[in-house]
Amino acid sequence: MTGARADEKSPDRLIALSDGIFAIAMTLLVLDIHVPTGLDADGFREAVGDWLPKLGAYALSFTILAGFWRDHRRILQLAQRVDPLSERIALAGLGVIAVVPFPTAMLSEYATRPLSVVLYALTIAVVDLLQLALFLAIRQHPHTGHGIVADLVSTILVFGATVPIAVFVSPGAAMWSWLALAPIKMAVGRRYAIG
């Protein structure tokens, strides 16, 4: 295999593209937060109240995207080479990552509406489902990577389970349910020494 052909199969180019897409998606999250000009004291206080849900949605999505970025790099670095299937899965995942600012904006504006919470939860679950598919496509030995699989599946299950909660119980209950992911991920990390 020539040097140019070997570079095409290396995961390095895909990692570089991924870094760029994650950086853009993370930057786009903050564009929804702005301060109107010319506010009096009452208008400023009202604007601060409007910022809080936006800042919360920003912090949530930035944290989730940072975790996705870490996982995506870790998965791609396991690959000696990237075959066409792995490349297509990675690109599909990056396509969904690029969309994350949209459900984040919906969540910040309409957190009390089931559809916005469902859209956000499904987007996050789909990203991790594609990360899982990428890992399974790249993984060299079927008996390795149980910790990575458990970590990815935990996110899929938690966010997926909150879809019916948002629809049949309440959007607020669904969002509070996302907090269950923190102790689950810590337990998975301890169990499999994921770092």
Name the nearest CA neighbour of 75 among 28, 124, 162, 145.
145
Please report which confidence band the pLDDT of residue 7 belongs to, taking 50, 70 and 90 as the band edges. low
pLDDT in tens, 94-123: 999 999 999 999 999 999 999 999 999 999
Q: Mean of the pLDDT values across residues 161-188?
A: 96
CA–CA distances in Å: residue 78 to residues 17, 109, 151, 159, 187: 17, 39, 16, 26, 23
Residue 169 half-sphere exposure, CB side, CA atoms within 13 Å?
14
Q: Mean of the pLDDT values across residues 69-78?
A: 93
pLDDT at 94: 98
For the chain, the domains span: 3-192
77 pLDDT above the threshold of 70: yes
pLDDT at 194: 61
pLDDT at 191: 86
Percentage with pLDDT > 90 across the chain = 70
Taking a C-beta distance cutoff of 8 angstroms, is the pair 65, 100 a contact? yes
Residue 182 has a CB neighbour count (10 Å cut-off) of 10
Name the nearest CA neighbour of 133 among 90, 77, 167, 192.
90
Taking a C-beta distance cutoff of 8 angstroms, is the pair 139, 78 a contact? yes
Report the greatest alpha carbon distance in the chain: 68
> To which H or E segment does residue 181 belong?
helix 181-192
- How far is the C-alpha of 145 from the C-alpha of 75, rounded, in Å? 10
Please report which confidence band the pLDDT of residue 8 belongs to, taking 50, 70 and 90 as the band edges. low
